[in-house]
Chains A and B, each alone.
Chain A
Amino acid sequence: MKRNFLGILLLTFLFVGTSLAQSKQVKVKVDGLSCPFCAYGLEKKFKDVDGIEDIKIDIKEGTLSFLLEEGKIFPEEQIRKKVKQAGFTPKEITYPETSVKNEKGKIHP
């Protein structure tokens, strides 16, 4: 019984560890996220993208972040396009280990 419990515990740690190792965080700095319609609009445009999860909007920081699954490709150009579809212009994208400065300002809101 005790051996079974330890086995399950070990498997759990392995699973969690593997999951963390497989996901990489992407962070996008966006202006004008103070409005709830803007923030959730950005969330809406990203939620259906295949291979990303745990989308978070930090209104105070003005950032969108999400986890990109290992092996999934989501080029910066497409990220910028999605952000623009939501009505914004991305400023700085951290993806996954590089940091690229983009145009400043916003289209709307």
Chain B
Amino acid sequence: MKKGKSIRSCILAIAVILFFGCNPSKKWNYLNEISLQDITPVGITQLNGHLWISDAKNNRLVSIDSNGQIVKVHDGFQRPMHISEENNKIYVPEFLTDSIKIINGDNVEVLELTEVPDAPAAVDVKDNITVVADFYNHRIILQHHKQTVIIGEEGHIQGELYYPTDVALYENKIFVADAYNNRIQIFDLQGNSLQVIGDKNNIQVAMGLTVNSNELFVVDFDGNRLLIYDFDGNLKQVLNKGLNNPSDVVLVRQRLYIVNYGSNSISVYGKT
């Protein structure tokens, strides 16, 4: 009898631990706002836990502290847009010069491109694979050493793109913010469209995205929202508090930093 009771207690304890400790339905909650004052943010990334922002209006990249104060500046870019980080380097797509710059310490280098974009809106780099969102050509350029794969063409059906503004590589898949088709598309490295996400959720410009191990985060620029999906495309949560024309999002140490182009600020969310 005692043995049965203790087994029941054990099962109950495990259930409690599973529910409260590993509950996958934990929600993202609004924490605070960071004012950026004179910075007009478009893109955001992180380098060693520090936030870096592309200030397209002022043609610069800035690193800020948790209060929004500028701690470092890289000047002289021509409309830097959706930036990314890989191996302690920041990759900067220059919208006006059709080039990708690399900030490596205090040096700025130029990434050699095999195919020239017309207004690169975003770049991501993982394991020597580079993907560039080629805004005016409605396509993604994938570059691996000297090999190039062109993904998508102008259009509205699956596999086609209409003004892509962000791109992310994750586990050999390419996540594309298919901005003016108001959806996300996922491609394999050969350029085959695998999945469309968000096309039923009334997104009004899918401008930016980021991905972690089980969630896809999408900023809805004119809808003033951030939508969170699982990898099956199920909408799990919608965030809107503090959001004002959000243009990009980054995940750093279990915190979501959502850039508000409309209010020169960052909305911070945490999972509780």
Using CB atoms and an 8 Å cutoff, list the residues of chain A in contact with chain B: 34-37, 40-41, 43-44, 47, 87, 108-109
Contact = CB atoms under 8 A, between A and B. Distances in A.
Contact of A40 (B56, B179, B245): B56
B163 A109 contact: yes
Contacts of A36: 42, 56, 81, 247, 261
- State which size class the interface on B falls in: 20 to 34
A70 B141 CA distance: 41
Interface of B: 42, 56, 79, 81, 95-96, 119, 121, 135-136, 162-163, 165, 179-180, 205, 207, 221-222, 245, 247, 261
Q: Is the interface of A mostly helix, strand, loop or mixed?
A: helix
B221 A43 contact: no
A109 B180 contact: yes
Contact of A37 (B121, B162, B222): B121
B121 A44 contact: no
B79 A40 contact: yes
Contacts of A34: 222, 245
A44 B95 contact: yes
A37 B96 contact: no
A35 B56 contact: no
Nearest 4 pairs between A and B by C-beta?
A40-B79, A36-B42, A40-B95, A44-B96
Given A44-B95, A108-B162, A37 B135 contact: yes
Contacts of B136: 41, 87
A35 B180 CA distance: 11
Given A41-B95, A108-B163, 4 more contacts: A36-B261, A37-B207, A40-B81, A40-B119
A36 B85 CA distance: 21
A37 B245 contact: no
A35 B204 CA distance: 11
A37 B261 contact: no
A12 B135 CA distance: 43
A65 to B, nearest CB: 16
Contacts of B245: 34
B179 A47 contact: no
B180 A108 contact: yes
